[in-house]
Amino acid sequence: MSRTVYVNGTYLPEEDAKISIFDRGFLMADGVYEVTSVLGGKLIDFAGHCKRLARSLSELDMAAPATDDELLAIHRELVAVNGVTDGMVYLQITRGAPGDRDFVFPDPATTPPTLVLFTQSRPGLAGHPAAATGMKVISIPDIRWGRRDIKTVQLLYPSMGKMMARKAGCDDAWMVEDGFVTEGTSNNTYIVRGNRIVTRHLSSDILQGITRAAVLRLAAEARMEVEERPFTIEEAKAADEAFFTSASAFVMPVVEIDGAALGDGTPGPVTARLRDIYLDEMRKSAI
């Protein structure tokens, strides 16, 4: 069955949704995005996504096409009309379609931003089998641009990284720069030693994960120790546990890095506990 999607003020069937060939998202990856999870028909951490979206737009000097309340209404409408119980809402904003190709930003007064949203239904999203078995990752060099704190649609290298992982029989790739792990292709990364969780500090080197912020807050509330600093692949291989976080994978255990099993090769207790706490709290505060 065809989905209903949203394009610039209109709800329409996906096959009727059209974007200009001059759209700067298409020509120049001049766009930002957010992915908000849906559990039980409700949006997870919507406020967090709005806040980061506003920051991404402001860092790129891009106009916001709608208020947070308007965005919430569109998210809810799409979830309702498409009957999404578990899944995601994808939102993308680009600098619009100036009707020509030019490196210079178009005047926002004459070129409004493009706003697109669509849903992806994923029944049982929170019950992913890998949450029980863990994922395998490889390490690859991080050759992305230097403003990874902005959530842009330039996802070619992360996509290539996923393919490198797949070719190696693994699930994801952890990117390494100057000897230290930055992040996964689409997630923030963590290692655990005893009761201490280590994750890279925020900077322009990584995306400020919405899930990361919630998990670190909940970990502190649960009296777990958190250390925000870079770590190496060698340190990760020697850790008791490892995991990654993202809005759609939540807290996902990692059991193998570059072919080396972590601990006994099964997800550890700290990761499992954090996943439970995170899902519990997020379901409670979903809107």
Binding site for ligand PMP (CB under 6 A): 183, 186-188, 207, 209-212, 245-247
Rounded to whole angstroms, the Cα distance separating 140 from 258 reads 10
- Minimum CB–partner distance for residue 239 and ligand PMP (Å): 19
Nearer to ligand PMP, 3 or 212 (CB): 212
Q: What is the DSSP string of the chain?
A: -PPEEEETTEEEEGGG----TT-HHHHH--EEEEEEEEETTEESSHHHHHHHHHHHHHHTT---SS-HHHHHHHHHHHHHHTT-SSEEEEEEEE----SS--SSPPPTTTSPPEEEEEEEE-TTGGG-THHHH-EEEEEEE----S-TTS-BS--HHHHHHHHHHHHTT-SEEEEEETTEEEEETTBEEEEEETTEEEEPPPSTTS---HHHHHHHHHHHHTT-EEEE----HHHHHTSSEEEEEETTTEEEEEEEETTEEPTTSS--HHHHHHHHHHHHHHHHH--
Nearer to ligand PMP, 4 or 37 (CB): 37
Nearer to ligand PMP, 98 or 161 (CB): 161
- Minimum CB–partner distance for residue 128 and ligand PMP (Å): 15
**Phi/psi at 145 (5° precision):** -70, 175
Nearer to ligand PMP, 5 or 247 (CB): 247
Tokens of 124: 């049982």
- Minimum CB–partner distance for residue 198 and ligand PMP (Å): 16
- Minimum CB–partner distance for residue 36 and ligand PMP (Å): 9
Nearer to ligand PMP, 12 or 72 (CB): 72
Query: One of 151, 162, 167, 284 is an active-site residue; which one?
Result: 151
**Is position 284 annotated as part of the catalytic site?**
no
- Minimum CB–partner distance for residue 209 and ligand PMP (Å): 3
Nearby residues of 174 by Cβ (< 8 Å), 6 or more positions away: 137, 138, 139, 140, 181, 183, 184, 189, 233, 236, 257
CA 129 to chain centre: 19
Nearer to ligand PMP, 21 or 145 (CB): 145
- Minimum CB–partner distance for residue 233 and ligand PMP (Å): 17
Q: Which residues are tagged catalytic? A: 151
